[in-house]
A and B are shown apart, each in its own frame.
Chain A
Amino acid sequence: MSASKNRHALRDRTGDPWNGRTLEWSVSSPAPLYNFAELPTVSTRDQFWAYKEAHLAEGHVHPKELHYQPIHMPKNTPAGFIIAMFAGIFGFAIVWHMWIPGVVGFIGMVATMIARTFSTDTDYYVSEETVRKTELAHIKEMISNA
């Protein structure tokens, strides 16, 4: 009851409520759509802990020092979902020897796959500015909750 009533006040905004040791705690919660702004280089087992000891001891971050690259991302597509639906119909139908829905499911699957190959506009870049804003918001939350 208490947890449900106070869920907004108690919500974690840092992504790292328990002072975590490993990299999954280093991103915001929920994670940004690109996961990591830069590919992390891992040199020890508890990489995020090592990072905290090295950098957060200094206590501050200069926003002007943050430089990011645009991030290459795939666009959303319903193709996978549609193929899965047709595959479900196909699988169910052939288990029960229902030939007509089986054929419909199979053709639907293959046709969706083929239709998908006609699309070449399947990726985009998250701009450097968007990445910078997202990361900055996360850093501000971490500092204000530290």
Chain B
Amino acid sequence: MHSEAIAVHEHHHETDSVDVFGFWLYIMTDCILFGCLFATFLVLNFPGSPGPELKTYLKLSDVLLETFFLLASNFTFCLAILNLYQTKLFRVQLWLAISFLLGGSFIFMEVTEFAHLANEGFRWDVSGKASSFFTLVGTHGLHVSCGLVWILLMIMQLPLLKDVYVARRRMTYLGLFWNFLDIVWIFVFTIVYLMGAM
């Protein structure tokens, strides 16, 4: 009986690593997607390309605040993971809720910024520059929105998950996803906003 339990336990770990590898593959395909969007953005924003300039409409301080919201939500997510490994369920939920609020603030500011740009005349249909900007930043925003739904589901489902390994595995996936979006945002911030503003 004892050895059986150990065998099943070990098997869990085995399949866990296979499943996490599967999620890494998904992250890689997303990397390709964002790579294409970055390439498109850079090609359509070569110096002297026609259309209005992003930097004339941009409030860089708002973008910086957005960045802080997203990075902070990643930090609080890591705190949730730490508490998960100490099996403090309520704290995990609390940190996830804070991550959700920070991520939600990021999305709120981004949508406000998009509305501001569109009202000022930097619309997605005025030039290739503008549409590549909205496609790249919007795709990232869509990913973050999906991540927010996922965080909400995780808060709801954590008390329902009987198996601690299932909870850890799912949090690992969500963590990979959330970290990945942060890394993509660092590139968006550098390439789209900082290089665009210079």
Contact = CB atoms under 8 A, between A and B. Distances in A.
A96 interface: no
Given A120-B162, A120-B163, A114 B15 contact: no
Contact of B11 (A72, A114, A118): A72
A76 interface: no
Interface string A65-76: 000000010000
Contacts of B160: 118
B161 interface: yes
A2 to B, nearest CB: 48
B166 interface: yes
Contacts of B1: none
B198 interface: no
Interface residues of A, number: 5
A54 to B, nearest CB: 29
B15 A117 contact: no
A117 B153 CA distance: 9
A120 B166 contact: yes
A114 B156 CA distance: 12
B139 interface: no
Interface string A114-134: 100110100000000000000
Nearest to B160: A118
A120 B164 CA distance: 11
Interface string B160-182: 11110010000000000000000
B142 to A, nearest CB: 13
Interface of A: 72, 114, 117-118, 120
11 contacts: A72-B11, A72-B15, A114-B153, A117-B153, A117-B157, A118-B157, A118-B160, A120-B161, A120-B162, A120-B163, A120-B166
Ordered nearest first, which 7 A-B pairs have the shortest CB separation?
A120-B166, A117-B153, A120-B161, A72-B15, A114-B153, A120-B163, A118-B157
Given A117-B153, A118-B160, A120-B162, 8 more contacts: A72-B11, A72-B15, A114-B153, A117-B157, A118-B157, A120-B161, A120-B163, A120-B166
